[in-house]
Amino acid sequence: MKIPKQSLQQGAAAGIILVVVKLVAYLLGIDAMTSGWAGFGQLVLVVAGMFMACSIERKASVEQFAFGKAFIAAFAAAAVATFLALAMDVVLYSVIDPSLGGKIMDYTMEEFERSGVLSILPEEQVEGMIEDVEFAMKPAGQFLSWSLGLLFWGVVALIVGAIMKQKDPAAF
Average pLDDT in the 53-60 region? 87
Q: How far apart (Å, rounded) are the C-alpha atoms in residues 79 and 85? A: 10
Q: At residue 171, does pLDDT exceed 60? A: no
Band (168; pLDDT cuts 50, 70, 90): low
Question: Structure pTM?
Answer: 0.83
**Cβ(105)–Cβ(36) below 8 Å:** no
Average pLDDT in the 60-72 region? 83
Q: What is the mean pLDDT of the chain?
A: 85
Q: How far apart (Å, rounded) are the C-alpha atoms in residues 148 and 129? A: 18
Q: How far apart (Å, rounded) are the C-alpha atoms in residues 28 and 31? A: 8
